[in-house]
Structure 1
Amino acid sequence: MLALLLLLSFTQVSESESLMVKILDRSLEAEDRMEHLADLAMLDGPLLLEEVIKVKNLARGDYLADFARCLGRCGSSATGELRKLLRSKVPEVNAEAVYALSIIADNDDFARGRLRMAKEPVESRVAALRALDHLGSPFARVEALRRLATATGPLLIEAMQILDRRRREEDIPYLIDVVADRTGMAQNLAVRMLQERTGYKIGPDARTWRWFLVKHRVEGTPFRSLETEGEKNVTLVYLGVPILGERVVFVLDSSSSMTERMRDSLLAKKKGDQAVEELAGLLPRLPHTGEFGVIFFESSVRAFSDTKLLSWTQEGVAKAIEFMRSNLFRGGTNIYDALETAFAYRDVEEVVLLTDGEPTVGKILDTEKILARVRKWNRWRNIRVSAISFSAPRRAQKFLQLLARENSGDIQIFD
């Protein structure tokens, strides 16, 4: 085992050195050098500040967060540069600086201080809370419990994920409060966590959860179900994938292969028609307080709304269904650009990707690199990503499984 760990460490170092050579190669186009910087940022292991600082003036836009993440791998020697980045107005850059400085400090004070700054970008407070967890601080759980009552969006989800990893019986009343006081993603995640811990199949009904909690306390028994009691939690489902959030983007494959029928049934609808009709039936049932988006991808990418998610209205749903039913299935499979478009929606909290194949066109075709980019986009946002395979080949299924697993989503595979 030790030999394997040493080999992996050596491989990472060698890869880092190779990428650094390419980043510093002025004969390459600036965009190519920054792509190598993005790849370098996703690796582990130490870096030399004198090497990383050479690309400071080259890093721009989205790549500035990659530069900040590389600085974090330089250790305490990069403290001064990282503190400068705390003034950045780019949330992802600020978050990388907060996380790195928290880990370098190796104590609770810096992270807890940033977490209490209400005007900090939410990404930075997510980074501070995650740093406490990664440092093994006992305050990680304390701060997570506090955020159940006060936080929203990615910070609330981060707190719930920490509590899910650090399970304690005394957390149950707090989770029931989330069921009572929250809606959408947070409420549904709290229900899932309670079901997993207790065995009860109660839905988003806080009164029933509290009744059983009191029952077990009076009896002096653990809060565990000896048999299935109550109703199973019923959530919205798209082709077997539960929809937990209130701001959801559906990303549908529109390539020419979607005109084929599923492998296991000659009588079934064509794959594209089935995907569209299932979604057409779901959209009217989405939360009326929520927002949604629909993206089709083939060789190019087309979104129903290019700039922001649409608030749920009967008129908006009707237009979205008309948009879907007028779609033509043709061209290749541009998964990378489709996911990039989905993550560009600032307030999205859930993405559902449906495809029947591997990437064939687009900016990035390598599925490992696509996964790496999604990790980057989702590093501080806690967006749930689920995937549906419509008779996709085994290699594509593996990619979709990893995509869902790494982003707290569900996977549904149809052969």
Structure 2
Amino acid sequence: MMFRALVLSLALLAPLSFPPSTIGPRAARADVATIVAELKKSRDEADPKLIAELGLVRTREAALALIELYESAFGSIYMRREVVKALGNFDGIGDAEQPALQRLTDVATTSEEQELRTMALATLGNCTHLGKHFLKTIVESGAQDDVRERAMERVVRMASAEDKEFFERVFNGPAAAASKEKDKDKGKKDKDAEPARAVHTVKAIRELAFEQVAQGLALPRLFELAREKERDNVTELWGIRKLALLEIERRGDKGLRDLAETIYDDKTERDAVRVEAIRILVAAEGAKLAARLVDEGRGNEDVMPELLREALADHIAALRDDATDKKLVKMLGKGKLYEQRFVLRALKGYRDEKLMKTLAKEVLDGIKKAPPKANDPEYNTQRDLVLATIAMLGASGDKAIEPELSTVLRTGKDPLVLSAAVDALTSLRKGDAAWTKELETLAGGPEVEVRNAALMQLGKLGDKKHVPILAAALGSPDWSTRYAALDGLVALRAPESAGALVEAMQKESGLMLARYAEALWKLSGKPFRTSAQAWKAWWDKEGAGFQPISLADLSKLEAEEEMRRLKATTKTAQFFGIRILSHRVVFIIDVSGSMNEMLRSEYVGKQGKPRIEVAKTELQRCIDSLEPESLFNILVFSSDVDSWLDGGLTKSGTTGREDAKKFVGTLGAAGGTNLYDALRTAFTDKDVDTIIVLSDGEPSVGEITDPQVIRQRVALWNQHRRIVIHTVAVGGTFQVLEWIAADSGGTHRKFQ
């Protein structure tokens, strides 16, 4: 309803003549009323082909019937999604087109279910007559930012020369259009009129528009945009600066090098833009720039961000200049730890047996100190260097360093170092029967990181003799060990794997239950989803003669499985649209001072709500909707980190939920943004399989504030645990949140 006013002008458009479509045999002999009656009778159990047949009738009556069925007859996501697909058939069909495409627009912009929003946008994108028009109205509306962004992506795919004005308008922002409307309506204010909806500039949308108009911009304008910095009410311009730089590069303008130099030297510039600038300089000067790259790459960590330092090292490694390599070899082991990491990365791909032996001995020296009981920043940084060195040794292919790595595995005390040694030795000793035997032993060991690393490597070997070892690991009390074993069993595709999974599945719940169901479907193609009892009954009856389904036959069943999944999807706990399957979740909430700032208002001239209050309300609502057996905890961070419970996860029973909601209700906002320590604290809880982070700013205090280093540390902790991390960015674009969600297979959301 909220967008209906945006498309009233469609009534003035002449309907496009559209050739009649071939109508299915049933639709040819049955009228709309008959099909509708059958669909209303069977509701979600109806044959979805009836919905498709109704769509093929392509009359206004059929379109309105589908809209009514969406609202009143169907409860499952699947059946409603089928209606959404069918509504696309009415594009270009006289008086049926407007209500059908309007309904698609409403679903895209108001549905709580991501699957429905996604399908509505995709269907509009396939409507060749007026689909693009409706997508444009979404882009320039007050819909959620992610919906507008997806709509813009569809418009770009459908773009033609006639869209030039639209892209220019979107790139220039809503201010100009709003000003024109204000002048037009001057003196016509209606005090009873509903406030106008605000249309806010979205960084990603403006960048998509820029890419469409860039080729038509004059070079002076491009240079101006490449230098334009953020100012009052105009924020997050760094993406445009980067794209303008790339367009100037595409044109090969002679001023490119000086511009790139200026951007690279600007310490206030975003790291991602400076990375592009140094790439351009290296492309122009090659090995002549190597000495400068080395000097600047070893620069103080307070002024050289890690993302840029890594880019400098990677360029040096790609140049592989003999003089520079000799200089780097002499630098190994010297200087501060960040300088040593830089030199090591710059030597990636450099092969020298003497160098490998030197590095191996440095690793042995680096593991002499046992990990401290309390968090020690200096130890953590030293370990980063050791782990990077072990990874380089493993990738070297040099078997001469196996003894040193084996010594690390025997004498090391840090679980992360030991698991890294397992991975490196597997790379060097693949196919070695003695090493495989050692992996089998390690897979039953007491240390979870090492055990998981060994199980993952055994699964990759593809030898079905390891099924008993992997099956035994399904009985581990640690969920991450069970997950590692589960993946290995699926990869091996042995008949006995299914029986082990069915048996172990009986004790699972939440996210792990869903993973077992997915694994069993991949092995059998059976439709039992998360019903552990149904899987057991099937195995008891048919297990004796079971053989895994072929991958070709499995692919034929994917559509049916997707239908079952969507039909079975019920209301689950959500946090800012992120569906929570886990029963072992930690919420990490930013309560820094900036969380007192206001969110954007939905309406022109109105004030938004404080970020902290919106976050608190959403979290309390989410807590209420968690399943009774769920375990959860809440961490809050500003300059320091605090928690609802000190003892880790607890059941979300009635008492627990009420206490948690009271804790949330008392939260206030003050201080800095200590994201790193909040994440580190969450990872100390061995029971957690899902983390949800909400923050409104870049890290500003704590042990680590560099976003790239935080990303590296989280990836390190998570390599053999595989916790899913979802993130929510409030009020801006924060790459560190996007990174850690993508790296862990999680979802990233933004709201402003």
Which TM-score band (shorter chain)? 0.7 to 0.9
1:111–1:131 Cα contact (<8 Å) kept: no
Residue 205 (structure 1) aligned with residue 531 (structure 2): yes
Amino acid at match of 1:10: A
RMSD: 4.4
**Structure 2 counterpart of 1:183:** 509
> Structure 1 residues 293 and 36 mapped into 2: Cα distance closer, same or farther (>3 Å)?
farther
Q: Deviations over 1:356-396 (max 9, x none)?
A: 23223333333222111111111222211111122322xx1
Out of 191-200 and 180-189, give the one that drifted further. Answer: 191-200
Residue 98 (structure 1) aligned with residue 435 (structure 2): no
**Structure 2 counterpart of 1:271:** 611
Q: Secondary structure at the match of 1:48?
A: helix
2:464–2:494 Cα contact (<8 Å) kept: no
> Structure 1 residues 411 and 202 mapped into 2: Cα distance closer, same or farther (>3 Å)?
farther
> Structure 1 residues 375 and 390 mapped into 2: Cα distance closer, same or farther (>3 Å)?
same
> Structure 1 residues 405 and 310 mapped into 2: Cα distance closer, same or farther (>3 Å)?
same
**Structure 2 counterpart of 1:154:** 480
**TM-score with structure 1 setting the length:** 0.76
Out of 369-378 and 288-297, give the one that drifted further. Answer: 288-297
State how 1:5-404 maps to structure 2 within 5 Å. Answer: 10-11=317-318, 24-25=333-334, 28=336, 33=337, 37=341, 45=349, 48-54=356-362, 56-58=364-366, 60=369, 61=371, 62=380, 63-64=382-383, 66-67=385-386, 70-71=389-390, 73-74=392-393, 75-85=398-408, 86-107=410-431, 109=433, 110-111=435-436, 113-117=438-442, 118-132=444-458, 137-139=462-464, 142=467, 146=471, 149-151=474-476, 152-161=478-487, 179-191=505-517, 204-207=530-533, 223-226=557-560, 228-229=563-564, 230-232=567-569, 235-263=572-600, 265=602, 269-286=609-626, 288-306=628-646, 308-310=648-650, 312=652, 314-393=654-733, 396=734, 398-404=735-741
2:587–2:633 Cα contact (<8 Å) kept: yes
Q: Secondary structure at the match of 1:302?
A: strand
> Structure 1 residues 264 and 163 mapped into 2: Cα distance closer, same or farther (>3 Å)?
farther
Q: Deviations over 1:147-191 (max 9, x none)?
A: 674444212222344567788999777766665442233112234
CA distance in 1, matches of 2:437, 2:318: 35
> Structure 1 residues 388 and 403 mapped into 2: Cα distance closer, same or farther (>3 Å)?
same
Report deviation, 1:52: 4.8
Out of 183-192 and 271-280, give the one that drifted further. Answer: 183-192
> Structure 1 residues 361 and 65 mapped into 2: Cα distance closer, same or farther (>3 Å)?
closer
Q: Secondary structure at the match of 2:635?
A: strand
Q: Hey, which of these two has a bigger chunk of helix by percent?
A: 2
2:364–2:404 Cα contact (<8 Å) kept: no
Structure 2: runs of 5 or more not aligned:
1-282, 284-313, 372-379
2:592–2:673 Cα contact (<8 Å) kept: yes
CA distance in 2, matches of 1:13, 1:133: 36
1:276–1:325 Cα contact (<8 Å) kept: yes
Amino acid at match of 1:50: T
**TM-score with structure 2 setting the length:** 0.45
CA distance in 2, matches of 1:78, 1:296: 45
CA distance in 2, matches of 1:277, 1:232: 25
Q: Deviations over 1:243-268 (max 9, x none)?
A: 23333211111122322343363576
Out of 142-151 and 314-323, give the one that drifted further. Answer: 142-151
CA distance in 2, matches of 1:248, 1:39: 39
Q: How many residues align?
A: 398
**Structure 1 counterpart of 2:174:** none
> Structure 1 residues 173 and 295 mapped into 2: Cα distance closer, same or farther (>3 Å)?
same
Q: Secondary structure at the match of 1:228?
A: helix
1:69–1:96 Cα contact (<8 Å) kept: no
1:251–1:295 Cα contact (<8 Å) kept: yes
Report deviation, 1:278: 2.1
CA distance in 2, matches of 1:381, 1:19: 35
> Structure 1 residues 17 and 149 mapped into 2: Cα distance closer, same or farther (>3 Å)?
farther
2:459–2:492 Cα contact (<8 Å) kept: no
Structure 1: runs of 5 or more not aligned:
none
> Structure 1 residues 97 and 320 mapped into 2: Cα distance closer, same or farther (>3 Å)?
same
Identity %: 25
**Structure 2 counterpart of 1:406:** 743
> Structure 1 residues 139 and 203 mapped into 2: Cα distance closer, same or farther (>3 Å)?
closer
